[in-house]
Amino acid sequence: MEVELRHLRAFVAVATRRSFTAAGGDLLITQPALSRTIQQLEAAVGARLLERTSRSVELTDTGRELLERLRVVLHDLDAALIAARGRASLRIGFQWALPDPWISDLLAAFETATGATATLVRRDDIVTALHSGDVDVALVRAPVHASGITQTVLFEEERVAAVSAESPLAARAELEWAELTAYPLVVNTVSGATSADLWPPEQRPERVLECGSYDEWLAIIAAGRGVGSTTTSAAETHIHARVAHVPLTGAPPVAVRLLWPTRRRSDALLRRFGELASAVR
- H or E, element range at 119: strand 117-122
1 — pLDDT class (breaks 50, 70, 90): low
Residue that wins the pLDDT comparison between 267 and 148? 148
| Residues in Cβ contact with 106 at an 8 Å cutoff, skipping those fewer than 6 apart | 276, 277, 280
What's the rounded Cα separation, in Å, for the pair 237 and 253?
18
pLDDT in tens, 50-88: 998 877 899 999 999 999 999 888 888 877 777 776 668
- Other Cβ atoms within 10 Å of 87 Cβ, number: 11
What type of residue sits at position 267?
A: D
The percent of residues in the chain predicted with pLDDT above 70, rounded, is 97
Does 253 sit behind a cis peptide bond, omega within 30 degrees of 0 on the bond before it? no
Residue that wins the pLDDT comparison between 117 and 55? 117
Pick from 124, 149, 81: nearest CA to 212? 124
Residue 77 near residue 8 (C-beta atoms within 8 A): no
Q: Examine the pLDDT at 280 and tell me if it is beyond 80.
A: no
SS3 150: strand
Q: Examine the pLDDT at 20 and tell me if it is beyond 80.
A: yes
Tell me, yes or no, if the pTM score tops 0.75.
no
Q: Examine the pLDDT at 177 and tell me if it is beyond 80.
A: yes
